[in-house]
Amino acid sequence: MSSLPCDVVILPSPLLAEQSISASNKLSKLGSLITLEDGKCYPHISIYMLQLNTGGFDNVEQLLKKIARAYSPLQLRAQRYDQTMGYIDADYKKIPELIGLQAEVIKAMNPVRDGMRAKDKARMQEATGLARKNYEEYGWQSVGDLFRPHLTLGRLKSNDASALELLGGSSQFDGAFLKLGLFETGDNGTAIRKIFEFDFLGSSPSH
């Protein structure tokens, strides 16, 4: 069986996805290394990036389906932009439902992951403190207090202040996230292939 670098993600509403793709296309004029596109480079917020053996996908599917069935669509607010190492992200406010969702996903998926993604093995060598602990326990840094929910709009070769002027205010990326999905990851943390996705089916909307 093969092993793949994967990402458990939440997916925006069609309206928010369209808005994100439009913004990403604007950034492409600056020479962005990432351009979002429906069906090829999906807009998303990463919940848990991990390595998975394809032979266990049936089990993973059932685990994620159960979680999605229990959660309602997430209404999230983009509170700022972040630009680090050329990445241009819309950063979202952490709400209890989102924190709880990550905790449930990690509880279900950490026991079935296939070691660590190659990039995370390299990053762990330089990590200290809580970041190091997260790599050792979960194979990924951005867990718990270090979780930074964000939607990547592009990646330039270097930071460029003019990129944010092109985008306008971050509040345009406020919106609903309607699905939980598993994707194969590509370069720069992109979601390049949908493996499966599930609608959030809980009855109480989150804010």
pLDDT value at residue 207? 39
Arithmetic mean of pLDDT over the chain: 94
142 domain-assigned: no
62 domain-assigned: yes
66 domain-assigned: yes
Residue 53 has a CB neighbour count (10 Å cut-off) of 15
pLDDT value at residue 189? 87
Instruction: Kindly tell me the burial class for residue 143, based on how many C-beta atoms sit within 10 Å of its own C-beta (0-12, 13-18, 19 or more).
Output: buried
The CATH number that applies at residue 95 is 3.90.1140.10
Residue 206, pLDDT above cutoff 50: no
Reported as a single tens digit per residue, the pLDDT across 20-69 is 999 999 999 999 999 999 999 999 999 999 999 999 999 999 999 999 99
Question: Up-side HSE of residue 180: CA atoms within 13 Å toward CB?
Answer: 27
Reported as a single tens digit per residue, the pLDDT across 151-183 is 999 999 888 888 998 999 999 999 999 999 999
154 domain-assigned: yes
pLDDT value at residue 205? 46
Number of domains making up the chain = 1
Reported as a single tens digit per residue, the pLDDT across 75-134 is 999 999 999 999 999 999 999 999 999 999 999 999 999 999 888 888 999 999 999 999
124 domain-assigned: no
Containing domain of residue 36, as a range?
3-115+149-199
91 domain-assigned: yes
